Amino acid sequence: MIDSQASHGLTQWHGTTIIGVTRDGKTVIAGDGQVSMGNTVMKPNARKVRRIGEGEKVIAGFAGATADAFTLFERLERKLEQYRGQLMRAAVELAKDWRTDKYLRNLEALMIVADGETMLVLTGNGDVLEPEGGIAAIGSGGNYALAAARALSDYEDDPEKIARRAMAVAAELCVFTNDRVTVETI
């Protein structure tokens, strides 16, 4: 869903916008549905945001290669089981593995994950970041969505309204982002 290494001789995959917004104990993660290969939309309704873990108490969104993202979802679910649903601990352990494991180190994806208390951005560099101001965005349209959400946050308190409007702005500006949005709330 995002750039595949050109050096691998593969066609480049672009796309995805994921945004997370937290306000007053409510967190929303939203993502578009477009999967592109070059200049072609391969699928307009992919589901890049989902609930994971026991009791589905964690929501996660990914930007990156689809197979890589599924691998990371599965690994995060195992870490959540191992650490009894403690998202921060599970995320840190996943990030350690992601950075140091020979296989995982090659995965190309970013994730936004959240439970009822915490929202985090996870990267393959070993980063586990808590976003400034309760807003995070990743993917090709991430900067557009982030800017829109930050501007909207001064005037709107509902995180779902902020996320949906920010996604609409990103879809208007980023050719690799569409308006078929999946939203999960916790």
Dihedral of CA atoms 24, 122, 139, 61 in degrees, nearest 10, equals: -60
Q: Which two tokens stand for residue 162?
A: 């902020």
- For 110, counting Cβ atoms within 10 Å of its Cβ (0-12 exposed, 13-18 middle, 19+ buried), the class is buried
Quick one: which of 62, 130, 126, 118 has its CA closest to 100?
126
Rounded distance, CA 164 to CA 52, Å? Answer: 21
Q: Rounded to whole angstroms, how far apart are CA atoms 18 and 146? A: 9
- 139's tokens: 């993917």
Active-site pick, 16, 27, 177, 182:
16
- Per DSSP, helices labelled H in 118-158 are 142-153
16 is catalytic: yes
Task: Cite the active site residues.
Answer: 16
